[in-house]
Structure 1
Amino acid sequence: MASVRFDNVTKKFGEFVAVANFNIEIRDKEFLVLLGPSGCGKTTTMRMVAGLEEATSGDIYIDADRVNDVLPKYRDVAMVFQSYALYPHLTVEDNIGYPLKIRKVPPEEYTRRVAEVARRVELETMLKRLPKELSGGQRQRVALARAIVRTPRVFLMDEPLSNLDAKLRTQMRAELKHLQHELQVTTIYVTHDQIEAMTLAHRVAVMNKGVIEQLGTPREIYNDPRTLFVAGFIGSPSMNLIPGEVKDGVFASAGLRVGGAGPFNIPRAVLGVRPEDIHVASAEDPDTNLVAPIYSVELTGENTLVSLQLGGQLLAVRADKNFSGQIDQRVAVRIARDRMFLFDAETERRVDIQSNS
């Protein structure tokens, strides 16, 4: 297999900088997810690995080989696109085996490898069908099989699940995770869907405006966001980000006061707290931080998502599934102080308060 390394890589389109001074090493057999909004540079980064885009400056390595000037067909990478890109006139078998055909693989080996890969993705009974006879999930599995059959050094996947419905995405996520574990191939996966990133990745690189905001395991990214962008991008629903000020270690905003903000005075601060770290309390509770009216109540099955009106914004609270509050009813809540985050609104960097709380 292979590792992939970027050394000070920059990619420009005219004066626009799509990727800036990019440095990262994707380890051998690792599943790395490039996560970020549209236009953040994640697909451009992946296309530079494939050779479909040329780096403006810096070096890209696959193992010890510098590949900047190596043609795409000689880089030994396989790419799975957002669109299935199947040949409509070819059967499933012929679509899967097409990379082997153009490499003139002997017939016996061709048949063996196609059958083996079809079994891995549960398509062995559909080899004689045309793409139009398949469901969306089956077509995506054909596209995956076509990449797998080559046994490349690196898999590159560009939002391969975005065209599927929610149920199929969940199923395909599990299949992708199992396949990568089974095949042990270095994989770079591009997505804007943070659920995909959290469930699939060994590590996640959260990108914004062409740079990596934070690199870490899904657990690290979720539990230890280093910037306002990462805090707001990761999580469903996302972290509550409440603007206010810190004076003598107390955060204050419209109707909200929370102590334990460290020995700081920050005139423009943002308090970050996840919905599951805000608890419905009684109005008599001395640790109550806020009493506010309910804006909406949404039962999600395992719990209830309650939105409270806080000044000009909504505060998301994850309550028990049996919560029965009504719209406009006033509810008291308590914030878990050991699970709140404080950000400087000027720098958008996190202020470390946990050791001081």
Structure 2
Amino acid sequence: MTSVTFQGVVKKFGEFIAVNDLNLEVRDKEFLVLLGPSGCGKTTTMRMVAGLEEVSAGDIFIGGDRVNDVLPKYRDVAMVFQSYALYPHFSVADNIGYPLKIRKVPEEKRRQMVMEVARRVELDRLLDRLPKELSGGQRQRVALARAIIRTPKVFLMDEPLSNLDAKLRVQMRAELKHLQHELQVTTIYVTHDQIEAMTLAHRVAVMSRGVIEQLGTPKEIYNNPRTLFVAGFIGSPPMNLIDGEVSDGAFTSAGGIKIGGLGHSNVADAVLGVRPEDAHLLPGGSGKANVTAPIYSVELTGESTLVTVRAGDSLFTLRADKSFVGDFDQMVNVSFAPERVFLFDRKSQNRVDF
């Protein structure tokens, strides 16, 4: 079994704390995604596993062995970088087989292993080409193949899809997910893209300012965000977050949004959270609306229409049917189901249960 365990791990750069008291176990054969904005500590965390950054305090274990003082080359991890990091004067075959060459694997065996891995990532017809003759997606597959051929204990992937165009990212996500399932290797994947996290991960660790805000399956994090940061970071389009106050279980905002049924909560500095798919347009004249406000914009995405409404100084987005037709400044009625909204305390940043 190859788990990766962090026990009270801290990383400092001078006085700056990049990672603070990290306690986390990446399970054997798990695909765990470290998700967060730039500067949250996710890449630093992964680099400590690889041995490219020293641990300031705490311990890291790989497969039960403490690796704080183990050199990177002895940790048996394979890293895939955002920049591909291919040797430009090496062919595809030589790039893939280079880790085996360093280990002095016999040439014939090396050739067989390269061909086997190349077939797995659909590069077997491109083995004689140089990196400059490949597309971005093909280069990324070369980098993946070079990592796979080592059969390491742990894969470390640092935003490997961020340099690809939108269509290739979708294709490579599917390939990555299938490969990890097929290879059954413990994987730590770093990204700021929450769509990648939601589609790839067994579990997601959402990071902010060097700490994990929430750890759970993609479904858990999406359906039950514990903090204001997680609520606003997960989802595309993101959750609507509307400032207001709650008195005796009724939320009101300066923009005229009103919703009751929030238990007996009282929060002076409250934030109401509602996902676009949980806000609904009502027929004109309906008395059940939580707000009546003008349309700010309409965006057809194909499978649905995103309607953004302005209520006072607040903008919020709802997901309507793809057949919806609306115009700027058209007044619409919008309702929220109380059981599908979230309530947060702006001061503590934590969710308020009701």
For normalisation by structure 2, the TM-score amounts to: 0.99
Which residue in the other structure is 2:226 paired with? 226
Shift of 1:85: 0.8
Which residue in the other structure is 1:348 paired with? 349
Instruction: State the secondary structure of the residue aligned to 1:45.
Output: helix
Shift of 1:108: 2.5
Shift of 1:109: 1.8
Which residue in the other structure is 1:284 paired with? 285
1:140 partner amino acid: Q
Superposition pairs of residues 17-96 of structure 1, within 5 angstroms: 17-96=17-96
Which residue in the other structure is 1:261 paired with? 262
1:239 aligns with 2:239: yes
Shift of 1:172: 0.4
Q: Any idea what the Cα deviations from partners look like across 1:208-234, whole Å, max 9, x if unmatched?
A: 000000000000010000000000000
Which residue in the other structure is 1:303 paired with? 304
Superposition pairs of residues 190-209 of structure 1, within 5 angstroms: 190-209=190-209
Instruction: State the secondary structure of the residue aligned to 1:129.
Output: coil
Q: Any idea what the Cα deviations from partners look like across 1:305-327, whole Å, max 9, x if unmatched?
A: 00001211211010000000111
Q: Any idea what the Cα deviations from partners look like across 1:137-179, whole Å, max 9, x if unmatched?
A: 0000000000000000000000000000000001000000000
Which residue in the other structure is 2:170 paired with? 170
- Cα separation, 2, equivalents of 1:98 and 1:80: 14
- Cα separation, 2, equivalents of 1:111 and 1:89: 18
- Cα separation, 2, equivalents of 1:135 and 1:264: 56
1:13 partner amino acid: F
Superposition pairs of residues 322-333 of structure 1, within 5 angstroms: 322-333=323-334
1:251 partner amino acid: F
Which stretches in structure 2 are left out of the alignment for 5+ residues?
Answer: none
Say whether the 8 Å CA contact 1:283–1:291 is kept in structure 2: no
- Cα separation, 2, equivalents of 1:211 and 1:114: 40
Q: Percent identity?
A: 74
Bigger mean CA deviation after superposition, 278-287 or 45-54:
278-287
- Cα separation, 1, equivalents of 2:340 and 2:127: 52
- Cα separation, 1, equivalents of 2:283 and 2:350: 34
Shift of 1:262: 1.4
Say whether the 8 Å CA contact 1:282–1:333 is kept in structure 2: no
2:24 partner amino acid: I
Which residue in the other structure is 1:127 paired with? 127
Q: Any idea what the Cα deviations from partners look like across 1:159-208, whole Å, max 9, x if unmatched?
A: 00000000000100000000000000000000000000000000000000
Q: Any idea what the Cα deviations from partners look like across 1:110-148, whole Å, max 9, x if unmatched?
A: 112111110110000000111111000000000000000
Instruction: State the secondary structure of the residue aligned to 1:18.
Output: strand
- Cα separation, 1, equivalents of 2:313 and 2:334: 18
- Cα separation, 2, equivalents of 1:249 and 1:339: 15
- Cα separation, 1, equivalents of 2:346 and 2:323: 37
Which residue in the other structure is 1:252 paired with? 252
Q: Any idea what the Cα deviations from partners look like across 1:20-72, whole Å, max 9, x if unmatched?
A: 00000000000000000000000000000000001100000001100000000
- Cα separation, 2, equivalents of 1:86 and 1:181: 25
2:205 partner amino acid: A
Which residue in the other structure is 2:295 paired with? 294
- Cα separation, 2, equivalents of 1:195 and 1:315: 21
- Cα separation, 1, equivalents of 2:81 and 2:137: 14
